[in-house]
Chain A
Amino acid sequence: GEDVEQSLFLSVREGDSSVINCTYTDSSSTYLYWYKQEPGAGLQLLTYIFSNMDMKQDQRLTVLLNKKDKHLSLRIADTQTGDSAIYFCAEKMVYGYNKLIFGAGTRLAVHP
């Protein structure tokens, strides 16, 4: 079946790196996404990785994909208070329409 799992909460000190983890079950997924949701707002696409890649870097963000273990991670370098939000992992299925399966989200709290 289709399932995406994330830990629910992460707390880090400002300036440290944050690593948010995600596991998924469907090996046929094509793209994997990270979305950010700030309080009271909609989801904002942060970055995505194609399933045949191992790593993607975009400024402070690094996405690592381990297809064998179906594990995806998002590393935020030099975490700032503005990074406090909920981060959603999502996978896109290869079949049918542009269907995304979302995890429950990880709430990142950044403290001084």
Chain B
Amino acid sequence: NAGVTQTPKFQVLKTGQSMTLQCAQDMNHNSMYWYRQDPGMGLRLIYYSASEGTTDKGEVPNGYNVSRLNKREFSLRLESAAPSQTSVYFCASSEAGLAGEQFFGPGTRLTVL
């Protein structure tokens, strides 16, 4: 099992450009998440998908959109990138059980100039 995979690993954008971050999991998990990690701060939830066909906003959704393409894949789109979106982005997935342990991908390091 590959677990949670993310592409790309690194990306540099200019202000105003758009891009989509891809995430896939092979653990048959129902729930998937997108976080951003900024220096000196914990991970903050951008969007999540409790199950295939549903998506909801997290703490910091502004400037982002998501698509839950199928059970395996959950993408994050930046329509018009801004320097404030420079961050490391992590995708995670979890089973719906009581503990609900989340498994994380390796991250995408995004720089917006």
**Interface contact B104-A43, CB-CB below 8 Å:** yes
Chain B contact residues (Cβ within 8 angstroms of A): what range? 20 to 34
Q: Are A44 and B104 in contact (CB under 8 A)?
A: yes
Most-contacted residue by chain B among A33, A43, A98, A104 (CB, 10 A) = A98
Contacts of A90 in B (CB 8 A): 42
Smallest distance from the beta carbon of A35 to chain B beta carbons, Å?
8
**Chain A residues with CB under 8 A of B69:** none
Which of B12-20, B60-68, B77-85, B95-103 lies on the face that meets chain A? Answer: B95-103
**Given A88-B43, A98-B31, A102-B42, A45-B101 contact (CB < 8 Å):** yes
- Report whether B42 and A31 are in contact in the complex, using a CB–CB cutoff of 8 Å: no
Contact B103 A45 (CB under 8 A): yes
Which listed residue, A31, A42, A104, A105, touches B104 by the CB 8 Å rule?
A: A42
Do residues B107 and A98 form an inter-chain contact, with CB atoms below 8 A?
no
List B residues 69-113 near A (Cβ within 8 Å): 90, 92, 94, 96, 98-107
Q: How far is the CB of B111 from chain A (nearest CB, A)?
A: 15
0/1 per residue, A3-22, Cβ < 8 Å to B?
01000100000000000000
Q: Do A92 and B41 have beta carbons less than 8 Å apart? A: no
Other A-B contacts than A31-B98, A43-B43, A104-B40, 8 sampled, CB-CB below 8 A, are A30-B98, A31-B100, A33-B101, A45-B103, A90-B42, A97-B48, A98-B94, A104-B41
Size bracket, chain A contacts: 20 to 34
Q: Are B102 and A97 in contact (CB under 8 A)?
A: no
B106: chain A residues within 8 A (beta carbon)? 40-42
Report A-chain residues with C-beta under 8 Å of the C-beta of B48: 97-99
Q: Is B4 an interface residue (CB 8 A)?
A: yes
Q: Hey, which chain A residues are within 8 Å of B27, CB to CB? A: none
User: How many Å lie between the Cα of A88 and that of B42 in the bound state?
Assistant: 8
CA distance A45 to B102 in the complex (A): 8
